[in-house]
Amino acid sequence: MQETQKTVVNCWNEWDPLKHVILGRADGTMVQAPEPAIERDWPDDGFPLGTYGPLPQEMADKANEQLDNFGKILESRGIRVDRPTPLDFSQTVQTPDWKQASMFGCMPPRDVLITIGNEILEATMSYRSRWYEYLCYRPLLEQYFKEDPNMRWEAAPKPRLAERTYKKDFWKEWNTLSEEEQLERSRNLDWALTEVEPLFDAADMMRLGKDIIFQPSMVSNMAGADWIRRHFPDHRVHVMNFKEKTQVHIDSTWIPLRPGLILHNRERDAVPEQLKMYEINDWEIVECVQPQRMEKARLSYCSIWLSINSLVLDPKTVCVEAGETAQMEQLDKLGFEVIPVPYYDVAPFGGGLHCSTTDICREGVCEDYFPRQVEGF
């Protein structure tokens, strides 16, 4: 650990040379108790609907081994790596509005925190089980706030997550719909969240310098996009949608790799009008290859597309799951040095290489990569 490295909070995009990250931990992660926003129903893996509990210890140990190993790889490249402080995620939590039988975990810091410029912003989150997750990061945030006199520390308004935040009986109805009907509802952003209050997970955004991409999803609503737009008045916030029934987090769908280049999930079509800004500014959008892993991991709510959930270390270097050989080859051909990182065992804890990190410092300044803008986008 390079504890002596000075703390500087600074990050404008997804690719500038990485200097400092937070890397999650698998400890104590739960299959959450059901709540209005999400229900887990995994009878074959020992968690039928209504049941909840910690993921098996041997799975957590394996995941932690891979997380620690990734931490070492990053440190060997001169990147400072900090880790969150897990809570007892099996505890019941409550606010005056609700009571929830379990929390979730702290493997994916990407979901909770986003650094934009010299600001670290705590997301609202939209699951009751994740309402208190920011507490795992508070020891680090307090430390950064002391060490970097220029750091701005912000938290989006804590949401109520009361009954009116969610559509009543959403999951009951959703499970009776055909695939076509589910896609239609997803096209209309008609998921469990209502628009009564701003809601977003930090992982539904991508930073492209002056431009921020925001994806409304099962955990982020349009009021959330509006809040981000008003909160960052010097940025341009663009909403993008993709063809996916249960879209959660943008980082297995739309991956900025370096200025001028996006890796796109080949199965999740973008809306053509929303590609215009990229076209007229000469950005290339490359369709990713098919993942090597054909089935999602046991007890994982993430898809096989964690294959593109890569972490860019600088515009020439990218970390990719070690089993995803075709994906590595594609990135190699695009001119990257590819660092293979074994990470399959981390997936059930909430994601891949990108999810499990959040950037605190990347060199560089705010640039305008899209001088030509599209009216209404």
Distances from the Cα of 217 to the Cα of 188, 240, 244, angstroms: 11, 10, 10
Residue 259 CA to residue 314 CA, distance in Å, equals 11
Among residues 206 and 277, whose Cβ is nearest to ligand ARG? 206
Judged by CB under 6 A, does residue 111 bind ligand ARG? yes
Q: How far is the CB of 4 from ligand ARG (least distance, A)?
A: 30
302 carries an active-site annotation:
no
Q: How far is the CB of 32 from ligand ARG (least distance, A)?
A: 14
Residues paired with 213 in a beta bridge: 206, 238
Which of the stretches 88-96, 148-156, 327-335, 347-355 binds ligand ARG when contact is defined by CB under 6 A? 347-355
Are 212 and 236 spatial neighbours (Cβ–Cβ below 8 Å)?
Answer: yes
Q: Which of 28, 105, 198, 351 binds ligand ARG (CB under 6 A)?
A: 351
Active-site residue (options: 11, 136, 355, 361): 355
Judged by CB under 6 A, does residue 305 bind ligand ARG? yes
Which of the stretches 27-35, 139-147, 269-277, 299-307 binds ligand ARG when contact is defined by CB under 6 A? 299-307
201 carries an active-site annotation:
yes
- CB atoms inside a 10 Å sphere around CB 236: 17
Q: How far is the CB of 134 from ligand ARG (least distance, A)?
A: 15
Judged by CB under 6 A, does residue 198 bind ligand ARG? no
Compose the 242-261 pattern: x for residues touching ligand ARG by CB under 6 A, - for all others: ------xx-xx---------
355 carries an active-site annotation:
yes
Residue 80 CA to residue 174 CA, distance in Å, equals 43
Instruction: Fill in the DSSP letter of residue 46.
Output: T
Which of the stretches 95-103, 134-142, 172-180, 302-310 binds ligand ARG when contact is defined by CB under 6 A? 302-310
Among residues 20 and 110, whose Cβ is nearest to ligand ARG? 110
Q: Which three-class secondary structure state does DSSP give residue 337?
A: strand
Q: What does the H/E/C string look like for 131-186?
A: CCHHHHHHHHHHHHHHHCCCCEEEECCCCCCCHHHECCCHHHHHCCCCHHHHHHHH
Judged by CB under 6 A, does residue 215 bind ligand ARG? no
Q: Which three-class secondary structure state does DSSP give residue 20?
A: strand
Tokens found for residue 188: 């209309």
| Helix and strand counts by DSSP (H, E) for the chain | 7, 19
Residue 35 CA to residue 187 CA, distance in Å, equals 24
Q: Which residues bind ligand ARG (CB under 6 A)?
A: 108, 110-111, 203, 248-249, 251-252, 302-303, 305, 350-351, 355
For the annotated catalytic residues, the residue numbers are 201, 249, 355
